[in-house]
Structure formats: structure tokens, C-alpha cells
Structure 1
Amino acid sequence: MTKAVLKTWYDPKPDEIADRHGAFLQQLGQPTCLFIPGKDTSKVRAITTLLHGNEPSGLIAVHQWLKSHYESPEVNILIIIASVKTALTEPLYSYRHLPDERDLNRCFNPPYNDKQGEVAEAILNCLAEYQPEALLDIHNTSGNGPDFAVTINDSKPHQWLTSLFTGLMIKTDLRLGALMEVVDNIYPTVTIECGGAKTGQSHRTAFQGIQRYLHTPELFMANSFNQVQILYNPVRLELDNNINLDFCDQPVVGMDLTLRKDIERFNFGVVDGTVHLGWLNNGSDRLLKMSDLTGNDIFHDYFDIKGNTIYPSFPIQLFMITSNPVIAVDDCLFYAVRARH
């Protein structure tokens, strides 16, 4: 008999859950769907987390809630914990995805013909079966930035869901094969970036937001919610797989690109033409890619190269900056939007 891609655990009790989140992951052993009955059994709310194995705040918050939920949630709750084996690969919570596998949150469009595709398809099938009224996909930022949300829709329900966790929303037109892109037309879906993966504040942000989500009687009936700031249409700075990259306070000999060591401090800050971001070796700008929605290269629209030093061409706001070279090459170095005057 073939082992199910997605294990189901119905109504886990607090005393059945391992005391520590690492042991809880061991207890799960594979991608798992948890179902917790609520007071109103006619509705379901969904949470996905750990789509990336190195982003544990959602998992830690879910574990904390499961160990302490003496009060039933308002409605039925579906929690999908995805990249369990990736997260368990030593050192714990170190791998976004395993080296021989694709990024799970880039696999939600067909075909689903590899291991990660099968997990993505199983997650979609599980969500389709339960038809939640909303979905929160909980992540950590790639670097040590503050919390924010990402959506493909800026409707009031999306803003309401965002406000449970953070005051900042990024509305994107980029399409990468992420979960929210596939299901948002069925029910409101918001990706929550809780902040850096290694900070207690990020874990608290996740836990407090989850509590609000699970214990609010009517999600979208509240007369008011905290206003959120919305930034529109980010672009990504992507790096060629063969680039030689380093982070230093001065150009490093032999590197195609050297980024300033403190670049993460610009997360959600505005930088302009007076701020240098790093240094390029001669001709290495061909290894950097920034595209608009039609695929046109717009790197030189956003950045000027002056004597091999990189400067913004105009005021821009940067976010999701990472100083992890593996993530920078595998995903992107950062996102950027035009700064509002």
C-alpha cells in the first residue's frame, strides 16, 4: 500500500502533542494535515506553514497553540505543516528546501511530476476538500526584516486578515508558482512574513496573529480593523546561478558581486542615489536580472553603476533583503518598490 503524501491527524489533544516543537516535528515525520473541530462546525479556516523548512515561526506558534488550546476555536481549523523532513534535516531549520529538490512554494502550478509537486498537489487537494473561508500561509522573512504580508489582492478581506498580524501589506502582480496564486480566487489568501526566522518577536507575531484568527467569531464582520499600509507592484533582483557573491565592506577580489555587509539594515528603508549597495566586477551586471511583468530587463532602470559601485537610480524601498548567499542565488537578493513621495 502506497504511503499517503499528506498524513491526517484528527483533533490532536494537548497531551498527545510532544512538549517541544522539534520533537513535535519528529512526531509528525512527514507533511501533515491537522483538523481541529470548532464551535461552529459549518465553517473551516485554514493555515499552511513550513512551506520552507528554514522558516519555523508558524510551526512554533501552531505547536504552542496546540499545547494550550483549552478553549475550542470558533470554527473548524485545518492546519497543514508541509516541509517536515526538510526542517528536520540537521542542523534543524537550516534548509529552505533540500539541495536535490525544488522550492515547494514554487510548485503549485502543474505539472506535479516530482516529489515536491506531489506534496503541492496533495496540499491543494486537501484545501479543496475542506473549502475554507480563508487561508493564512505563514512564513519568515529571508533576512532579519520586520513583519509584513504579501497578497495578490488588496480587498477589504485581505486587509482584514493582514491586520491580524501586521500593519504592512505588499500587493504583488508577480507570479512564481506560490500557493496563494492558485487558491486566492476561491477564498481570501494572505502570506504572512513574520520577520526573521531566529527572533522571539517573530514567533510571538505568529502566535498572537494565529490566536486572533482562530478565536474571532466572524472573520469579516468586524466594524473596523487596524488600517494597513499597502505597497504595490514589487520587482525582484535575481542572481545568476553561476555568480560569485560575497558580503563585505569593500570589493572582494575575484567576486562578481560584493554587497555591503550591512545591507539587511535597509529592509523596508528608503534608499536613494546617495546610498551605495555594493560593487560589481567589470561586466558582471549581466549576472543580475530584474524583470518587469512582460519579461523586459529593467535592472538599469532601477540602478546606476558608477565606477563599479551600485546606486539606486531613484528613491526605492527595499524588503526581503537577505545576506544568505544560498537564498540570494536560489530565490532572490531582495524586492524593491518605488518609494512614495
Structure 2
Amino acid sequence: MLTELENLPEGLLQIEAKELHTVLTGPTLIHLPGRRDAPLFVSVLLHGNEDTGLKAVQEVLKKYQNAALPRALSLFVGNVDAARQGVRRLERQLDYNRIWSAGNNDTAPEHHMTRKVTEIMTQRGVFASIDIHNNSGLNPHYACINRLDNAFLHLATMFSRIVVYFTSPKGVQSEAFANLCPAVTLECGKPGGRSGVDHAAVFVEGALHLSSFPTHPVAQHDLDLFRSVAVVTVPETVSLSIGAGSSDLCLEECIDQYNFRELKTGTRLGRVADESLIPLCTRNAIDHDISDYYFEIKAGELITRRPVMPAMLTRDTRIIRQDCLCYLMERLETLSTEI
């Protein structure tokens, strides 16, 4: 399932994500040499409709077509089939950013592929890992990490002062590579805009120039640190609409404008058809349903029960079904690892 190359395929730097299938047969790991041997690993298009990563890497590599890269680069291009259709994943596929776990029960071809990628990069002594994504709602550019470690935080704040620490969902690329090197996920806003491409390109090039990571802590005034405490999904049995409709749950038209806003108790999120049940499943890091802790129903409205900050709220019902409605976060005032 995995193709491994030691050079760039002809045309890769000019092609759009939807046309990648014309030069790549599927998931591909491309190794390029640089002045420093330990490679920077960059993964793009784990979700086929998130093309900012591809465009950013294309911009960087165009600058070095006639010059040596500052550091070796290993580029993983993920879901080529979904990119052809312009969707997150095809209906028959696993989510390419949930398949990086090392569990013995994970026997699908996709799991074997990601284990192979991880093994290859372990052998090559990977220096750092960058996974580039977009999101479908209104979000600022921010970085995500899986460890509260100085090197991880320094890498993340090279991209944004907004950093989210998370341990769930499992099986994400950055979690797997966190065992090998400083690893970060970049969230670059909606696809299609230049700002995300330019921002990610500057970051990737900066990471290629790094010789090492500082060992001292990131200054508190340079960091807005949040912890992801729960993921919110809409059960398949609950019908869903946005703005208007007679569904079980009708979310506010402007729902994605709540992203990275610290919502007060009583903030309205939508209307419900059945006042006896909260139409959401809200699970914490140990997979307990804590919906009643964060949400309640009053007079047919779904409202927040306590202050909370959401991220990745989207108006795209297909993405809500395939992934989630949002993540809930709390601010971390200190960098204690005992959380």
C-alpha cells in the first residue's frame, strides 16, 4: 500500500491535490537529502480535502530546486484517493489520522502502512515531525501537541502562540511520532486561502533550518496553552441540521463563530426536538460520557452548563458525521505535566 521514493516524481511541485493520482499511485513516502542528515518528517493530505500542507511543501521545495535543503526531508503524502474526490475520506476508508496506533488488533492495510512509515523514520533518526491540516470552521491558526515537553512547545510556538495539548483522539500521526521526536500538528484554517499556505511554508522552512531544540521552557507570555478535555459527537441516531429545520438537533447558523471563544454558562448552541435527552455524546480522555457536565436542555434549547471553550466547530454536517462536532478545551495557566 505504501510507495517509498528517493526523489520527487516529475510534476509533483506543480500539481493540485485533486490530480495527485496522476503522479502517485497512493500513499507515498518521499526522502530528499539535505545538509543535515536527520530528516524532518512532514505529512500532508491525511485528509483528502485539506490541501494546505501539499501547497506549503510545494512552495518550500520550489525554492530549493537548485540548492541543497538545509536538512533532509521525508514527505508523506497520505490519502491520494480522497484528494482526487476532494473529500476528507472516502466512505469505504479509515480516517488516515486515526490509524497510527500500534495496537495488536489493528490489522487493516492502513495500519500496516503507518507502522511501516514509523519504522522507516525510526531507522532514519527523524529530527522532528510536522503534520499539516485544515479545518472546516472558523478557527485561528494554531498548533497541537501530545506532550508537555519543552522541545514540543518550542516547535509549536514557532507556528503560533496558541497551542492545544491533547491526548484524545488516539491513533493520530503526531501521537505516534511523539515517541520518536518533537511532533506537532498544524491547524491552518480553512483550505483554499493563501494565508494558511504561506504560514505553513514559513514554518516548514524554519524547521528545516533548526539545528537543535532549546532545553529551557517557553516564556509564559509567548504562549496561550489549552488542554483538550473532551470530544463532542452527534450520535448517528440523532438527525442534524444547521440554522433551520425540524431535526432532532438544529445547531445555530453561526455555530463555528464560537471556536476559541470562552463561552459563558447558558450560551445557546441550538434547538432540540426532545427536551428529555441531550442529543450529544461528550467523551473525556478515559472515554466516559460527560455530556451532562457541559450541556443541558432548557425550554427546547441546547445550552452550555458551565464556561467552556470549543474548537473545530463546523457547519459541515458530513464532517460532523465523519469526525466530530467539536473539541472542548480548558486553559492551562502553568506548564505542569501532572494533568
TM-score, length basis structure 1: 0.88
How many matched pairs?
327
- 2:6 is the alignment partner of 1:6: no
1:201 is matched by which residue type in structure 2? S
State the 1:242 CA deviation. Answer: 2.7
Task: Name the stretch that deviates more: 110-119 or 269-278.
Answer: 110-119
SS at match of 2:188: strand
SS at match of 2:268: coil
Report the CA distance shift for 1:68/1:24 in structure 2 as closer, same or farther (over 3 A). Answer: farther
Counterpart position of 2:290: 298
Identify the match of residue 52 of structure 2 among 57, 64, 85.
57
Identify the match of residue 30 of structure 1 among 22, 26, 30.
26
2:249 is matched by which residue type in structure 1? L
State the 1:173 CA deviation. Answer: 2.7
SS at match of 2:69: coil
TM-score, length basis structure 2: 0.88
Identify the match of residue 325 of structure 1 among 297, 317, 321.
317
- Equivalent positions of 1:81-230 (< 5 A) are 81-89=77-85, 94-109=86-101, 110=103, 111-216=105-210, 218-221=211-214, 227-230=222-225
Counterpart position of 1:48: 43
State the 1:239 CA deviation. Answer: 1.3
User: Aligned equivalents of 1:229 and 1:159: distance in 2?
Assistant: 11
Deviation digits for residues 235-290 of structure 1 (CA, Å, limit 9, x no counterpart): 11111123211001x5x22x011000111111111211342110111157354111
Counterpart position of 2:336: none
Task: Name the stretch that deviates more: 282-291 or 104-113.
Answer: 282-291
SS at match of 2:199: helix
State the 1:135 CA deviation. Answer: 0.8
State the 1:17 CA deviation. Answer: 3.8
Counterpart position of 2:270: 278
Identify the match of residue 240 of structure 1 among 235, 244, 258.
235
2:114 is matched by which residue type in structure 1? A
1:12 is matched by which residue type in structure 2? L
SS at match of 1:270: coil
Quick check: 1:270–1:339 contact (8 Å CA) kept in 2? Answer: no
Quick check: 1:149–1:166 contact (8 Å CA) kept in 2? Answer: yes
SS at match of 1:196: coil
Q: CA RMSD in A?
A: 2.4
Counterpart position of 2:15: 20
User: Aligned equivalents of 1:285 and 1:213: distance in 2?
Assistant: 48
Deviation digits for residues 113-153 of structure 1 (CA, Å, limit 9, x no counterpart): 32432332332233233220211111112423111111111
Quick check: 1:142–1:196 contact (8 Å CA) kept in 2? Answer: yes
Report the CA distance shift for 1:25/1:230 in structure 2 as closer, same or farther (over 3 A). Answer: farther
Report the CA distance shift for 1:319/1:284 in structure 2 as closer, same or farther (over 3 A). Answer: farther
- Equivalent positions of 1:71-90 (< 5 A) are 71-89=67-85
SS at match of 2:107: coil
> What percent of counterpart residues are identical?
23
1:220 is matched by which residue type in structure 2? F
Quick check: 1:112–1:120 contact (8 Å CA) kept in 2? Answer: no
User: Aligned equivalents of 2:279 and 2:298: distance in 1?
Assistant: 17
Report the CA distance shift for 1:151/1:247 in structure 2 as closer, same or farther (over 3 A). Answer: same
1:129 is matched by which residue type in structure 2? Q
State the 1:84 CA deviation. Answer: 1.2
Quick check: 1:107–1:177 contact (8 Å CA) kept in 2? Answer: yes
State the 1:183 CA deviation. Answer: 2.7
User: Aligned equivalents of 1:232 and 1:19: distance in 2?
Assistant: 38
2:123 is matched by which residue type in structure 1? E
1:37 is matched by which residue type in structure 2? P
Q: Provide structure 2 residue ranges, at least 5 long, that are not aligned to the other structure.
A: 334-339
Quick check: 1:150–1:190 contact (8 Å CA) kept in 2? Answer: yes
Q: Provide structure 1 residue ranges, at least 5 long, that are not aligned to the other structure.
A: none
State the 1:80 CA deviation. Answer: 0.8
- 2:332 is the alignment partner of 1:337: no
User: Aligned equivalents of 2:60 and 2:332: distance in 1?
Assistant: 39
User: Aligned equivalents of 1:225 and 1:260: distance in 2?
Assistant: 38
User: Aligned equivalents of 1:28 and 1:282: distance in 2?
Assistant: 49
Quick check: 1:316–1:339 contact (8 Å CA) kept in 2? Answer: no
State the 1:19 CA deviation. Answer: 2.3
Quick check: 1:56–1:197 contact (8 Å CA) kept in 2? Answer: yes
Task: Name the stretch that deviates more: 60-69 or 221-230.
Answer: 221-230
